[in-house]
Amino acid sequence: MTTQQRPLGSGLDRDSTADQALGAADLTGKTVVVTGASSGLGTETARVLAQAGAKIIAAVRSPERAKAALAGVKNVQIEQLDLADPASIDAFVARVEATGTPVHILINNAGVMACPLARDARGYEMQFATNHLGHFQLTAGLWPALKRANGARVVTLSSGAHRRSPVLFDDINFETTEYEKFKAYGQAKSANALFSVGLDQRGQKDGVRAFAVHPGIIHDTNLFHFLSSEEMSQTAGALGATKTIPQGAATTVWAATSPMLEGHGGVYCENGDIAEGVPADKQTPGGVRPWAVDPALADRLWSVSEKMTGKSFPG
């Protein structure tokens, strides 16, 4: 079943917090993997889901930072994971798979934003490699665990910045095109949204549903590490008013837990609801552009991602 790209009337809005989005959800006995849980939105997401009874596997680059950030949060297991390092991803997956545990919710939260031109060891542009390819490989590796859940959700953080660029299939790695950091970020965020479309299409038969979320603009996170104060102001102006961290984590928590989304998937969400699909030339913030939810583009990205990572999803 294909879910229409239009709000469901959740009752939440841009000011709702992650605790409000959780509502009365009971996650006792559920296992949740959260990437980037050592700061910001990842920490808040892990805290709220743990509060609902879930076991949290915090997948982070810096376990020491995660220990400090998640101090006092019960039922958290901290594991090292570098999404820019394929070997690190495989090692993390192997550790999870060795336990035989099902993964009921996967939160693909970690990412980098608007960094200077950098490439991973394979020569891939760093924002696309980390934000999309790393999570593609991680999700592929965790696929058996997601299927074991007999009803799992994968929530991948996209961004309103997807409107800055579709996926540049002719030059994803900026090998011939002049690098522009916000364009590269927009491409990666469009890829995150398309990944959710493709994943949901493939996962429905195994009870795995996928959602992309735009958390909003939250300046109090490490995501803005590479931006000057002037660039931060310009970003907020281009993409909408800023949110607090609890407000920013709300849509992620809603997509991961809301009973309203039973039977739904493959959609882009914002402000605690499914977002409106909007025209490609819309100039104001809000909504999702066609190139981020197009099934044909999602299939094309899927094939490209398999080739670039050398990974495919088990049948």
Taking the C-alpha atoms of residue 102 and residue 309, their distance in angstroms, rounded to an integer, is 24
Respond yes or no: is residue 124 known to be catalytic: no
Q: How many residues does the chain have?
A: 315
Could you identify the residue written with the tokens 């390092």? 85
Q: Which of 124, 179, 185, 268 is catalytic?
A: 185
Q: How many CB atoms lie within 10 A of CB 286?
A: 16
Residue the block writes with tokens 């009870």? 207
Nearest CA among 69, 82, 70 for reference residue 35: 82
Give the containing element (helix H, strand E) for 5: none
Q: How many CA atoms lie within 13 A of 3 on its CB side?
A: 29
CA–CA separation, 301 vs 73, rounded Å? 37
The catalytic residue positions are: 185
